[in-house]
Amino acid sequence: MNDQTLAQPETQTDWWKGGVIYQIYPRSFQDSDGDGIGDLNGITRRLEYIASLGVDAIWISPFFTSPMKDFGYDVSDYCDIDPMFGSLGDFDGMLAKAHKLGLKVMIDLVLSHTSDEHPWFQESRASRDNPKSEWYVWSDPQEDGTPPNNWLSIFGGPAWQWDSRRQQYYLHNFLVAQPDLNFHCEEVQLALLDVAKFWLDRGVDGFRLDTINFYIHDRELRSNPALPYELRNDSIAPQVNPYNHQEHLYSKNQPENLAFLERLRALTDQYDARACLGEVGDAQRGMQILGEYTKGEKRVHMCYAFEFLENRKATADWVVETFRRFDTHAPDGWACWAFSNHDVRRHATRWDLSDGANRAYVMLMMCLRGSACLYQGEELGLHEADVPFEALQDPYGKEFWPEFKGRDGCRTPMVWEIQDEMAGFTTSSDPWLPVSPAQSEFSVDRLEDDPGSLLHHYRRAVALRHDYPALAHGSQTGMSAEGDLLTFTRTDGDEEIFCAFNLSDIAAHLTIPEGQWTAIAGVHSDLEAGAMDLPGWGYVIAKREGE
Ligand code: BGC
Ligand code: MG
């Protein structure tokens, strides 16, 4: 790559709005030291590849010091790098190179809980009256010894763990090894703002904020009501997990959270062009919360939405319904959409997509209003890997096996080279999760050589969004579904772009709105005729010509 092809470091403050973010799961991206686990130097080595996709930013899942019970989402030192991933020096090197390539870097802050090995928790659990005694959520048992309320942990069992030292329970929304911080305690908020400041000073461009709506619990510890049967569905979380039988009115989503988000935003705004992306996980009120958290200029810039991460396919109807809800609950908010990530089955498998369907979906993502996250390997068309029980790592999967197999199938190593048994991921013969033999034919090197491959299609789709401001951040109107045919219009100033997608493998009849159109992607013929048969998974993206 010569200097001319390097994008200039962007200072434009709104880069995140409509931006495309590439998510890296660092354990599985690229190993550089032969221990079978991906690391920061591995990421550095592959940055040219990521830049070549044309994305604006990377989001790297946690690489902080951690006992790795939840693979880094259990942090024991927020301001250092786990030795398995490298050092702060390696991080700085990665950041500098990313910036040189024009890539923003977002890190994953897990503020809702720490590891039980974090010194804060060690101190907090030591007694009931130490200086950090209120830093976590402690409660006396009920008279009969049982936990204070009915809250459940997402990863199985009650959300309360007994601690014999304090003779009290502590709250953990996730693993027992992930105690929840007590955001009602001012010192906790200040300590976490210091963590954010540490990384902002180091030069990161933003944060993906893990489980942002879990920060604050109900002070009175009221029990959650049961979720009415008619509202239970398997689409986001499996029903084999009783967590999904409750309505989480009190264990999360508390209004006091807004004040903390405003403090975090005020801090971030002291720096140039930074962005906060909050992960809102709530099966019932996700969209309302997204609306509240991204409203105005004082809270987070955008929220990560779950609507297209569900088991339910993003059919034309569901896309229309999602934006209807968005317009109702978050009219001036901003969403970041994703089809895949490190927590759900890969969408090619989840929705049983052909190569053609994969192409239509990424093009759709690039045309939808909002920002977008792509998850490592989806540009290769990777399907979910089959990980046998003996190789399973994810505690969530171990808990609910075999009905729910956990998250290892989307976390297997990235597939770089077709010839290498370890897919170019590692020189170790024992990677932390098995390299999937079924994925080897989807390797980067093979797809690079084929200009017609899905990988090159992803590049074209991302480039299209950048070529047309209307697609990146224009308004979105007239969204409608007719069977599997989804149509809508994006507009920015004089630029008007009509988008039509046939989200099925059966041809559909499409009427083109009146006027003169030039196709900028998809089917190019017959636009003048005003109507056409759009083949299965076909699409038309067309720009209105001046009269
Ligand atoms: C992350 C998960 C993690 C959980 C607890 C999430 O939503 O994406 O991977 O297990 O938070 O930190
Ligand atoms: Mg390594």
pLDDT of residue 232: 85
Chain centroid to CA 402: how far?
A: 25
Distance CA 392, CA 382 (A): 19
- Least Cα distance to 137 among 89, 98, 173, 86 occurs for 173
Nearest 10 degrees: Cα torsion 326, 339, 354, 235: -70
Q: For residue 407, give the ligand 1 atom closest to its CA.
A: 9
Alpha-helical (H) ranges within 203-270 are: 257-268
Q: Residue 2 — very low, low, confident or very high, per pLDDT cuts 50/70/90?
A: very low
Q: What is the pLDDT of residue 182?
A: 98
Give the ligand 1 atom nearest the CA of 73.
Answer: 12
Mean pLDDT of 489-514: 97
Q: Please report which ligand is nearest the Cα atom of 36.
A: 2
Rounded to the nearest whole angstrom, what is the distance from the C-alpha of residue 61 to the centroid of ligand 1? 10
| DSSP bridge pairs for 209 | 109, 278
Q: Which ligand 1 atom sits nearest the alpha carbon of residue 173?
A: 5
**Partners of 60 in the beta sheet?**
24, 107
Nearest CA to ligand 1 atom 7: 211
Amino acid at 326: F
Question: Radius of gyration over alpha carbons of the chain, in Å?
Answer: 23
The Cα-based distances of 401 to 5, 172, 236, 238, 404 in angstroms read 48, 21, 17, 11, 5
Nearest alpha-carbon partner for 382 in 338, 426, 438: 438
For the chain, which residues make up each domain, given as ranges?
3-114+207-388+453-465, 389-441, 475-544
Please check the confidence at residue 306 and state whether its pLDDT lies above 90.
yes
Question: Which CATH architecture does the domain made up of 3-114+207-388+453-465 adopt?
Answer: Alpha-Beta Barrel (3.20)
| 12 — pLDDT class (breaks 50, 70, 90) | confident
How confident is the model over 59-69, as pLDDT tens digits? 999 999 999 99
Nearest CA to ligand 1 atom 3: 73
Active-site annotation holder among 31, 90, 205, 210: 210
Identify the residues whose C-beta falls under 6 Å from ligand 1: 70, 73, 110, 174, 210-211, 279, 281, 342-343
CATH code linked to domain 475-544: 2.60.40.1180
Residue nearest to ligand 1 atom 4, measured at CA: 73
Question: Is 210 one of the annotated active-site residues of the chain?
Answer: yes
Number of the ligand closest to the Cα of 342: 1
Calculate how far, in angstroms, residue 303's C-alpha sits from the geometric centre of ligand 1. Answer: 15
What ligand is nearest to the CA atom of residue 27?
2
Q: Do domains 3-114+207-388+453-465 and 475-544 have the same CATH topology?
A: no
307 a catalytic residue: no
At residue 3, the pLDDT reads 42
- Cα–ligand 2 centroid distance for 36 (angstroms): 6
Q: What distance in angstroms lies between residue 36's CA and the mean position of ligand 1's atoms?
A: 22
Q: How far is the CA of 466 from the centre of ligand 1 (A)?
A: 30
Provide the percentage of residues in the chain whose pLDDT is more than 90.
Answer: 93
Q: Measure the CA–CA gap between 165 and 181, rounded to whole angstroms.
A: 18
pLDDT at 164 over 70: yes
Residue 271 has, within 13 A of its CA and on its CB side, a CA count of 20
Q: How confident is the model at residue 233 (pLDDT cuts 50, 70, 90)?
A: confident
Q: Which ligand 1 atom is at minimum distance from the Cα of 74?
A: 12
- If one residue of 180, 208, 210, 375 were mutated to test the ligand 1 pocket, choosing by the most ligand atoms within 8 A of its CB, it would be 210
Q: What pLDDT score does 546 carry?
A: 85
State the average pLDDT for the chain.
Answer: 95
Label residue 526 by pLDDT band (50, 70, 90). Answer: confident
Is pLDDT at 237 greater than 80 in this prediction? no
**Tens digit of each residue's pLDDT (9 = 90 or more) over 401-452:** 999 999 999 999 999 999 999 999 999 999 999 999 999 999 999 999 999 9
Phi then psi for residue 77, to 5 deg, are: -155, 110
